[in-house]
């Protein structure tokens, strides 16, 4: 069977799952339905913990039962999530929708990358994984741009609820496409049933034996967490700068557009610059950029945010590719899930500090704290990677 069509199918799934015009007016819609800021924080905690608790079990299920089933499950839960939100009027309605979103996220995080890699591996094209993953992300951001630009217009013309019905439609299309995916039939090192504890032990042993993989993934987790606080709170930041709400859609589109080049050319950059130099440079830009937007409260800070978006596009396909080139198909989704698990753990820990400093020094203080975290990690990365670089283990 030809499994290369999985690539375009995964691209289409990504596109329609990101074509969500509801996101551009999400906080306003929730507020109209009675959700206070504190209630929204509670739902964020529910989401983080649901992903944290289910990330590894879902990866194991993907390795044992198939990646396609988990991707289908994610699309189905996405449909259910937006159907609930359309009619949501109570806190528990929103909490239930967010909980389902967390389950879907944990189900697809390792499964999608595993299915993509193995589809390429079946045809001897696994070396192009970073290239294909970058293009998948490009479809993701392209849909987000379209949704951002159209979502604000639709909301202003037709009201907020239509945005949610359109988002539900996008999820429904992605569900239909997910049924068309083909499960690669690779001969793995072990196809016998493995209990949860054995999967967990094998995964831990893999990371112990490969410290360079841990370091690369850790860098993606830290920068991913830092980027998350830009994605979640950019509206508050630019509102402090006096940017009119009418331009919010353009800003959101800009945040997505600028991540496209890095995702598309990441596979080329890694051929010219070694991992140690590239990652340390990206982390430095994150650290210095976060410090700048914390101190200089003007429109130049928005330019720096755009610069951070540009370099952030490189790190995700870079780190994910580094991992998948070094793991076996029998545990690909499980080990990939550790990356998402670590990211959620860092988000929870760093989020506590971000919230504390934001409450004392406004949003600018929160970004100052993120800068300290990035600078601390940069020092750790340079020290830890020195020996690995000398032994050519981080190249």
User: What's the domain count of the chain?
Assistant: 2
What is the rounded distance in angstroms from the CA atom of residue 386 to the CA atom of residue 55?
31
For position 187, what pLDDT does the model report? 52
pLDDT exceeds cutoff 80 at 190: no
Q: Which helix (DSSP H) or strand (DSSP E) does residue 187 occupy? A: none
Answer yes or no: do 227 and 329 share one domain: yes
Q: Please check whether residue 11 lies inside any domain of the structure.
A: yes
Q: Please check whether residue 230 lies inside any domain of the structure.
A: yes
Which pTM value belongs to this model?
0.73
Q: Please check whether residue 189 lies inside any domain of the structure.
A: no
pLDDT exceeds cutoff 60 at 105: yes
Query: Among the listed ranges 6-15, 35-44, 99-108, 230-239, which one has the minimum average pLDDT value?
Result: 35-44
Residue 320 sits in a domain of what CATH number? 1.20.1250.20
99-to-44, 50, 78, 102 alpha-carbon distances in Å: 9, 6, 11, 5
pLDDT exceeds cutoff 80 at 246: no
What is the rounded distance in angstroms from the CA atom of residue 102 to the CA atom of residue 297?
34
Q: Please check whether residue 190 lies inside any domain of the structure.
A: no
Identify the domain boundary among 163, 180, 197: 180
Tokens of 179: 């049924």
State the average pLDDT for the chain: 83
Q: Please check whether residue 186 lies inside any domain of the structure.
A: no
Burial class from Cβ neighbours inside 10 Å (0-12, 13-18, 19+) for residue 306 reads: middle
Q: Cα Rg for the chain, rounded, in angstroms?
A: 20
pLDDT exceeds cutoff 60 at 15: yes
- How much is the average pLDDT of 80-90? 93
pLDDT exceeds cutoff 50 at 2: no
pLDDT exceeds cutoff 80 at 387: no
Tokens of 328: 């076996």
pLDDT exceeds cutoff 80 at 200: no
The model's pLDDT over 230-240, given as tens digits with 9 standing for 90+, comes to: 887 777 788 78
The model's pLDDT over 325-338, given as tens digits with 9 standing for 90+, comes to: 887 766 677 777 77
Band of pLDDT at residue 84, cut at 50, 70 and 90: very high
Q: Please check whether residue 364 lies inside any domain of the structure.
A: yes
Return the half-sphere exposure (C-beta side, CA atoms, 13 A cut-off) of residue 271: 8
Looking at per-residue pLDDT, the higher value among 226 and 201 belongs to 226
The model's pLDDT over 351-381, given as tens digits with 9 standing for 90+, comes to: 878 878 887 888 888 899 999 999 999 999 9
Nearest one of 307, 282, 296 to 378, comparing CA atoms? 282
Nearest one of 266, 329, 296, 270 to 120, comparing CA atoms? 329
Instruction: Give every CB contact of residue 56 below 8 A, 6+ residues apart in sequence.
Output: 199, 200, 203, 334, 337, 338, 341
For position 390, what pLDDT does the model report? 47
Answer yes or no: do 225 and 173 share one domain: no
pLDDT exceeds cutoff 70 at 194: no
Band of pLDDT at residue 219, cut at 50, 70 and 90: very high
Answer yes or no: do 257 and 388 share one domain: yes
Answer yes or no: do 17 and 74 share one domain: yes
Answer yes or no: do 15 and 148 share one domain: yes
252-to-9, 135, 145, 149, 153 alpha-carbon distances in Å: 26, 20, 7, 8, 14
Answer yes or no: do 164 and 225 share one domain: no
Looking at per-residue pLDDT, the higher value among 331 and 100 belongs to 100
Band of pLDDT at residue 38, cut at 50, 70 and 90: low
Task: Give me the sign of the Cα torsion angle 222, 227, 232, 236.
Answer: positive
For position 189, what pLDDT does the model report? 46
What is the rounded distance in angstroms from the CA atom of residue 45 to the CA atom of residue 66?
29
Answer yes or no: do 215 and 96 share one domain: no
Chain position carrying tokens 């069509």: 5
Answer yes or no: do 166 and 211 share one domain: no
Identify the domain boundary among 180, 214, 236: 180
Answer yes or no: do 77 and 222 share one domain: no
pLDDT exceeds cutoff 50 at 341: yes
Angle separating helix axes 332-390 and 91-121, nearest 10 degrees? 70
Identify the domain boundary among 180, 197, 229: 180
Answer yes or no: do 161 and 223 share one domain: no
Q: Please check whether residue 78 lies inside any domain of the structure.
A: yes
pLDDT exceeds cutoff 80 at 79: yes
pLDDT exceeds cutoff 70 at 394: no
Residues 138-149, buried b or exposed e (16+ Cβ, 10 A)?
A: bbbbbbbbbbbb
For position 304, what pLDDT does the model report? 93
pLDDT exceeds cutoff 70 at 3: no
Indicate the SS3 state at residue 122.
coil
Band of pLDDT at residue 37, cut at 50, 70 and 90: low
Answer yes or no: do 73 and 10 share one domain: yes
Answer yes or no: do 216 and 109 share one domain: no
Give the domain range for residue 323.
Answer: 205-395
pLDDT exceeds cutoff 90 at 80: yes
Tell me the backbone φ, ψ of residue 85, rounded to 5 degrees.
-65, -35
The model's pLDDT over 314-327, given as tens digits with 9 standing for 90+, comes to: 888 888 888 878 87
4-to-35, 50, 137 alpha-carbon distances in Å: 44, 33, 17
SS (H, E, C) 322-382: HHHCCCCHHHHHHHHHHHHHHHHHHHHHHHHHHHHHHHHHHHHHHHHHHHHHHHHHHHHHH
The model's pLDDT over 129-153, given as tens digits with 9 standing for 90+, comes to: 888 888 888 888 888 888 878 887 7
Q: Please check whether residue 256 lies inside any domain of the structure.
A: yes
């Amino acid at each position: 069977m030809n499994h290369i069509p999985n690539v375009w199918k995964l691209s289409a799934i990504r596109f329609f799952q990101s074509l969500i015009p509801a996101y551009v007016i999400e906080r306003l819609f929730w507020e109209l339905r009675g959700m206070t800021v504190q209630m929204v924080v509670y739902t964020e905690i529910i989401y983080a913990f649901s992903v944290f608790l289910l990330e590894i079990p879902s990866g194991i299920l993907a390795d044992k039962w198939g990646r396609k089933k988990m991707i289908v499950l994610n699309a189905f839960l996405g449909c259910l999530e937006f159907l609930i939100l359309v009619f949501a009027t109570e806190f528990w309605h929103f909490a239930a929708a967010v909980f389902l979103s967390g389950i879907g996220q944990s189900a697809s995080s390792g499964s999608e990358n595993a299915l993509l890699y193995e589809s390429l591996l079946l045809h001897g094209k696994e070396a192009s994984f970073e290239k294909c993953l970058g293009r998948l992300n490009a479809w993701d951001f392209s849909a987000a741009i379209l949704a951002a630009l159209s979502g604000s217009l639709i909301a202003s013309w037709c009201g907020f609820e239509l945005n949610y019905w359109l988002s539900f439609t996008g999820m429904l299309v992605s569900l239909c496409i997910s049924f068309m995916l083909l499960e690669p039939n690779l001969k793995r090192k072990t196809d016998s049933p493995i209990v949860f504890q054995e999967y967990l032990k094998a995964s831990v042993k893999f990371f112990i034996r490969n410290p360079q993989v841990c370091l690369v993934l850790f860098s993606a987790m830290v920068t991913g967490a830092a980027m998350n606080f830009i994605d979640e709170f950019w509206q508050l930041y630019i509102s402090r700068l006096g940017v009119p709400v009418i331009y919010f859609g353009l800003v959101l589109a800009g945040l997505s557009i600028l991540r496209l080049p890095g995702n598309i050319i990441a596979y080329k950059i890694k051929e010219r610059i070694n991992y140690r130099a590239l990652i340390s440079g990206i982390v430095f830009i994150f650290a210095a950029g976060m410090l700048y937007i914390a101190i200089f409260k003007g429109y130049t800070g928005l330019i720096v945010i755009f610069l951070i978006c540009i370099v952030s596009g490189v790190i995700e396909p870079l780190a994910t590719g580094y991992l998948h080139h070094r793991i076996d198909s029998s545990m690909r989704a499980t080990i990939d899930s550790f990356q998402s698990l670590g990211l959620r753990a860092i988000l929870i820990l760093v989020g506590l500090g971000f919230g504390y400093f934001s409450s004392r020094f406004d949003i600018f203080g929160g970004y100052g704290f993120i800068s300290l975290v990035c600078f601390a990690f940069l020092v750790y990365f340079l020290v830890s990677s020195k020996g690995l670089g000398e032994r050519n283990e981080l190249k």
